[in-house]
Structure 1
Amino acid sequence: MGILFRPRWSAGAITDVKFKSSLLSGKVEAPPIIIDESTESLLLNLVAYESAAALDQLWVSSYILFMDSLIDDAEDVEELRSNGIIINYLGADQKIARLFNDDTRRKKHVAEIFFYKTVVA
């Protein structure tokens, strides 16, 4: 039992995450994300843009927080990788765990308008 992770190949955007629950389990369907050496700077720049543009919805920031809620360590990354959610071109799974876990300033900034609250609550 527990939560199953499946890639959502038909998603229109990286933020197009679906959660389905049943009596004994749940299923998270998320678009695959390719993570390589450019991913961290890309995500940080998108978060900076969202903040500077004063957007109503912080889609990228919320996605990062959502991934952080799923990932605590390399084992969590391995689970998402083995289920096709993460495509790792960065190297060690621990690097990806650090990518989503390290920036607490970003987390404080977005916590109030977290787009995925209903998925992870």
Structure 2
Amino acid sequence: EGNEYYDKTGVIKMPNESALGNWGLMISKHSKHKEVALEFIKFRTSKQVLIDQNKALGAIPPLIEAFNDEAVTSKLMGNEAALLTLLKDSKPRPLSPFYGEIASVIQNNVHSVITGVETPEKAAEELKKGIEAVFK
């Protein structure tokens, strides 16, 4: 409403789970300040901070109580139910020392198809080669 794209966009669920992204917060077992780190994590993941982050950056809050806040849902253009399903069904990205390299190969090849630089077939070949090269 008031947005020219309001009735021209939507959200659907992927065939499989969506991958959680952004920042995962953790405390190193080697930390000398575990209590302070825990307090920071509690602050950073609090309802109000997540609502403020949504206001500033448009990031969908992972905390249901923050997601359901009127300040957040009012900007979701009628996609609240679909986005909530995606949020509930999302899975963490795999833990792997190779994840960054593999993600880069995937991103570059998908981008090349989307921008018309490569055909899907050529990008698939390059994707296979790129991922195989990570493990050599």
Decide: shared fold, TM above 0.5: no
- Structure that is richer in helix per residue: 2
TM-score in terms of structure 2 length: 0.24
**Structure of higher CA gyration radius:** 2
